[in-house]
Homo-oligomer: A and B are copies of this chain.
Amino acid sequence: MPNKFLRQAATALLVLVVATPALADEGVSAEMFTVNNLWMMIATALVFIMHLGFATLESGLTRAKNTTNILFKNTFIVSIGLITYAFAGFNLMYPGDFNGYFGFAGFFVTTDAAGVTSAYNEGYTYWTDFLFQAMFAATCATIVSGAVAERVKLASFMIFATIFVGFTYPWLGSWKWGGGWLDAMGFYDFAGSTLVHSVGGWGALAGALLLGPRMGKYTKDGRMTPIPGSNMPMATIGVFLLWLGWFGFNGGSVLSADPALVSLTLVTTSLAAAAGALGAMFTSWAIAKKPDLSMTLNGILAGLVGITAGADQMAMWSSLAIGAIAGVIVVFAVMFFDRIHIDDPVGAVSVHLVCGIWGTLAVGIFGEMAGIGQLWIQFVGVLAYGAVAFGSALAIFGLLKMTIGLRVTPEEEFEGLDLAEHGMHAYPDFAGVSAGSMGSK
């Protein structure tokens, strides 16, 4: 080998090393860091769009006279959620070194120069990390919104949501994702069947319990009167946007763009959603003799919530089983809560709490570490989160009930929260308010 060849090779090499220092110096190249961070930012955008999904789903499944109120609540939640998470939540949830139960890294998000390089994390910058987690946080309070719809006093709900998203959710989240005691114990919850959905679901249950059912929902002799949703296209838009958003919710929880893990996660997520739809569809068809759109839509959500705890590690058959079982469960859960007269207008407790518990336990049944030991740990996690999330939601809602009150007056409820709380209609031209505004007939 001639010397000239070696010299050329060495020179080319140095050019290469200088041009791409990250390759030689760190565990991940600048390119890999950029593509990882790109996926995490896109996942953030997808989780953001779930807030529109929740807003349209909830407004579609409730009456037209409460639509403005629902849209207002959901707009408020994402806004206050982002701001409280910037102010305290992120540092509560990821406190760094802490005792495993409670820690706080200080007020307001901020970082140094290293925070925006792969020195912070090979998968994302500090800012991406914050925003992705902030979008998650806000979903938790949104879940509660559906269960208390059509009768909750606006100001009370706003206070509840602020505390729940700003304190309860991130504090409880630290137990697992912040590296706390449940993480140390081996509890597994990939993307939040428990940490997000059950926690939100417990809040929803507490709210529905303390509020009581909507006027006219249950008659004195114990029968249930269906209160149909006012806008099924809106509800359908909501569920499809939530499914889309779940690509980011679960896919982003890989915390990098790892091709194997993310693509597997999207497949398990989608198959569980599809199986949930069919499970709920056929179950409700068998029971009610008619195929029910609302139940089918809730079946999709049930499958999605169910797969979330183990979406990174399920086989195809397991994904289908988890989703289909979630779809069956959600139908019976909705019937059960109606039977015990807990009025949940959109089925939030059935979808997020019940299927969240199912998904968390399913990790111990179908997951990589399936077994009685893991199942026990999953069960402990479910209990621990249930006790504290439910307890704290009861406490917040209870205090509000004792002070400023939790529920609108019967007159306001009859009139609709849109007029009572906001002085406007969501669909004025359709309510006959504005003469001629539909155009000539």
- Measured CB to CB, the residues of A under 8 A from B are 1, 3, 5-7, 9-10, 12-17, 19-20, 23-24, 27, 29-39, 41-42, 44-46, 48-49, 51-52, 55-56, 59-60, 63-65, 67-68, 71-72, 74-76, 78-83, 86, 108-110, 116-117, 124-128, 130-131, 134, 154, 227-234, 236-237, 239-241, 243-244, 247, 251, 257-260, 262-264, 266-267, 270-271, 273-275, 277-278, 281, 288, 290-294, 296-297, 300, 316-317, 320, 414-416, 418-419, 421-434, 436-441
Tell me the nearest residue of chain B to A129, going by C-beta: B263
Enumerate chain B residues within 8 angstroms of A30, measured Cβ to Cβ: 32
Known: A38-B259, A49-B244, A52-B236. 15 other contacts (CB 8 A): A29-B31, A34-B257, A34-B258, A38-B262, A51-B240, A67-B233, A75-B296, A79-B275, A86-B271, A108-B317, A125-B259, A230-B428, A231-B426, A425-B438, A432-B441
B293 lies within 8 A of A437 (CB): no
Tell me the nearest residue of chain B to A51, going by C-beta: B240
4 pairs of A and B residues whose beta carbons are closest in the complex: A65-B439, A116-B260, A416-B439, A127-B263
From the candidates B31, B116, B419, B424, name the one contacting A31 in the complex (CB within 8 A): B31
A38 lies within 8 A of B438 (CB): no
Distance in angstroms from A34 CB to nearest chain B CB is: 5
B131 lies within 8 A of A267 (CB): yes
A431 lies within 8 A of B439 (CB): yes
Given the known inter-chain contacts A75-B236, A116-B264, A300-B79, please indicate yes or no for A41 contacting B439, CB distance below 8 A.
no
From the candidates B3, B20, B126, name the one contacting A29 in the complex (CB within 8 A): B20
- A427 CA to B430 CA, complexed, in Å: 10
Enumerate chain B residues within 8 angstroms of A251, measured Cβ to Cβ: 41
- A154 CA to B24 CA, complexed, in Å: 61
Enumerate chain B residues within 8 angstroms of A125, measured Cβ to Cβ: 259-260, 263-264
